[in-house]
Amino acid sequence: MHVKRKTIPTLWPIQRTGSKWMAVASHNNSDSIPLIIAMRDVLKIVKTKKELKMLTNNKQVVINDRVVREINYPISLFDILSLPSIKKFYKANLINKKLNFEEISEKESHSKTYKVIGKKNLLRKKQQINLSNGKNLISNEKINVGDFVVLSHDNKLGKIISLKKDVEVIVIKGKHIGKEGKIKEIYEEGENTLAVIIMPSKEEVKVNIKNLYVKN
């Protein structure tokens, strides 16, 4: 499936002038970028679909520690793109309000931070923790909805991070998208829970905590 270049999502870090049609992700295309666009137009690791297809057919493209064979596979915010044959590893991040890629180490590529979006009590004091991106985790640790967890590639729980004072965060939605800083305070305002974020410039912004993601 393709869309006209001038209608591509504003998150894509590419120009709106050029070839008329652009590929879209096979699913979750509202807030992701397809693999072919990332590899060809952003990172410029391949020049054509054929080159990318050769890599995927040889199992040389890995997203979140999973081998990907589909050239239009969606890459979302904070996903990890690994290219083991050339020892390159990238995290999808917000850079200048765009979904772009920062190079990371191989060690960093084997863990990812997820937001807890739900949980269900099971037998023997265990819980099913529902995470962003449709992932689930069974644990007896104290984890609350709205917390963030760091998981290794084999689904082992690393850290549990709650939104609280001095935690470093990035704004992922709204008018302050892309801004980073530390939480100064969290308070209730009507039906919303807001956080005051202090940025490195000392500027302070108020953000709904639903629009925050921890920096890790």
CATH number at residue 174: 2.30.30
The token pair that represents 107 in the structure block: 């060690």
Helix (H, G, I), strand (E, B) or coil at 49: helix
Distance linking the first and last C-alpha atoms of the chain:
34
> pTM of the predicted model, to two decimals?
0.85
pLDDT tens, residue order, the chain (216 aa): 555 555 556 776 666 555 555 566 655 556 788 999 999 989 999 999 999 999 999 999 999 989 999 999 999 999 999 999 999 999 999 988 888 999 999 999 999 999 999 999 888 788 999 998 788 889 989 999 999 999 988 888 999 999 999 999 999 999 999 999 999 999 999 999 999 999 999 999 999 999 999 987
Judgement on whether residues 102 and 127 belong to the same structural domain of the protein: no
Please give the residue range of the domain that contains residue 40. Answer: 2-106
Judgement on whether residues 43 and 119 belong to the same structural domain of the protein: no
Judgement on whether residues 71 and 152 belong to the same structural domain of the protein: no
What's the number of domains the chain is made of? Answer: 3
- CATH code at 6? 3.10.290.10
**Alpha-carbon gap, residue 110 to 81, rounded angstroms:** 10
Judgement on whether residues 210 and 126 belong to the same structural domain of the protein: no
Judgement on whether residues 9 and 83 belong to the same structural domain of the protein: yes
Are 5 and 21 within 8 A, CB to CB? yes
- CATH code at 154? 2.40.50.740
Judgement on whether residues 195 and 173 belong to the same structural domain of the protein: yes
Of the candidates 40, 29, 31, 36, the residue with the CA atom closest to the CA atom of residue 72: 36
Judgement on whether residues 127 and 207 belong to the same structural domain of the protein: no
Partner residues linked to 188 by β-bridges = 193
Phi-psi region of 190 (alpha: psi -120 to 50; beta: other; left: phi over 0): left
**Alpha-carbon gap, residue 115 to 135, rounded angstroms:** 10
Judgement on whether residues 130 and 154 belong to the same structural domain of the protein: yes
Judgement on whether residues 26 and 97 belong to the same structural domain of the protein: yes
Longest dimension (CA), the chain: 58
With a CB cutoff of 8 Å and minimum separation 6, the contacts of 30 are 9
